[in-house]
Amino acid sequence: HLTSYGDWATTIRVFGGDTQALLEFTYYDGTGAEVDSRQWLLEPYAWYETTPDLEGSFRVESADNLVVMVSYRYGVTQSVCEFFLTES
């Protein structure tokens, strides 16, 4: 789930492995309608980070082995809640 409601911010980080990885982000609004889709080439041992200004959800797709982390933050606090997503 993505949220930008009020002072909330959602950050998505994708960590790559030892080879280049092609990944695709698809974003959906609160009704489930697709609003954006983008592809990136992630270099070895690099990461991609985005903080979408969207209330809805997202999907990350790749044929490569990647680690996806989602974190939520409220306001300017340093408190962060992080989740590592597994393959599904």
pLDDT for the residue numbered 72: 84
Q: What is the largest CA-CA distance in the chain?
A: 38
Average pLDDT over residues 4-18: 86
Q: What is the pLDDT of residues 31-69, one digit of tens each?
A: 999 999 999 899 999 999 988 888 999 998 888 888 888
The average pLDDT across 17-24 equals 91
**Cα→Cα distances 82→6, 27, 69, 78, Å:** 19, 19, 7, 12
Rounded distance between C-alpha atoms, residue 7 and residue 10, angstroms? 10
